[in-house]
Amino acid sequence: MDLKDKAALVTGGSAGIGLAVARALVAGGCRVALVARTRQNLERAVAELGSQRAVAFAIDVTDRAAVAALLSSPWWGRAVLRQMDFFRVRRVVIEGARYASPDEIVSRLRVDTTTASIWDDVSPLVARVKEHPQVRDVRIGRRLPGTLVVRVTENPPVAFVNTTKGLVVTDADGKPLPVDPTRTDVDLPVLASRDTLLLRLLGEVRAEIPSLFARVSEARRGSRGDIVLVLAEHRILAKADVSAARLAEVLPVELDLARRGRTVTELDLRFKDQVVARLP
């Protein structure tokens, strides 16, 4: 194997087998970074190997901050690190994927573990993952020595929309999502059609009042274009321009009625600054 101008990281390189490996590498034309805990032994090793071909780091490899210092060495930069088998991608960890299949995300990355380094440019990987319709944003980090950590932010589903092909899982922008309800537990409100206003509202409610969103079984328009949210206990009526903040005003009213043992069939928000409770 041609070692000329290659780079190698040798842990335990101040003595014994580590130092013997470093000698062989330098003799073959390789540059080495020696890592060990004892600075005095490392200095002797560098003196023997030559400071033009060897550099020493007195660190504990389990100390991440110390490892970061190693990576900041003038010639021990990413261009050199990418050539090292020590930093080959051996594992990919997917975080934040609840609805998207981690296997699908890994497949989109198209990482060749025989050649890819964790120090390669990750922007092409980010672009590929962002093409997944379930993914809103993605960030890729590194966990030394050989793990890529893919942190995904998903487009959350907000409703089942009735279509000619059946019920389709949809996000707040009205885009269908590749969520398979037979494989993923999804409990969502049902819409009779793709109503962008209702979908946006459900998206806001999911983000701002998740406890209320979890109770909505159906969302629809009333006869005058008003909004009707159907809950298991009762329904909520509101104007078409209702905000999530306004909908949140039903929560203390519900608590007050429950304390008094009163049953309500409808909470009406269509009147300014009021929540009208209609009893059976």
What tens digit of pLDDT does each residue of 183-202 get?
A: 888 899 999 999 999 999 99
b/e map of 234-261 (b: 16 or more CB within 10 Å)?
A: bbbbbbeebebeebeebeebbeebeeee
84-142 pLDDT per residue, tens = 677 889 999 999 999 999 999 999 999 998 889 888 889 999 999 999 999 999 999 98
Could you tell me the CATH number of the domain that includes residue 132? 3.10.20.310
Alpha helices in 50-92 (DSSP H): 64-71, 78-81
Q: The dihedral of CA 237, 238, 243, 247: what is its sign? A: negative
93 and 82 housed in the same domain: no
Give the pTM: 0.67
The band of 181, judged by pLDDT with boundaries at 50, 70 and 90, is confident
Rg of the Cα trace of the chain?
30
Residues 46 and 109 occupy one common structural domain: no
- Residue 251 shares a structural domain with residue 178: yes
Q: How many independent structural domains does the chain possess?
A: 3
Are 190 and 268 members of one domain?
yes
Domain boundary among 154, 185, 211: 154
- Which pairing describes strands 31-36 and 54-58: parallel, antiparallel, or unpaired? parallel
The CATH number assigned to the domain holding 224 equals 3.40.50
pLDDT higher at 223 or 127: 127
More confident residue, 204 or 47: 204
Residues 6+ apart with CB under 8 A from 232: 215, 217
Q: What local confidence, expressed as pLDDT, does residue 33 receive?
A: 83
Residue 194 lies in a domain: yes
Query: For residue 23, what is the domain's CATH number?
Result: 3.40.50.720
pLDDT (0 to 100) of residue 21 = 93
Q: Are 251 and 181 in a shared domain?
A: yes
| Residue 4: per-residue pLDDT | 75
Domain span at 75: 7-86
Same domain assignment for residues 77 and 120: no
Beta-bridge partners for 235? 230, 266
Domain end (from 154, 175, 204): 154
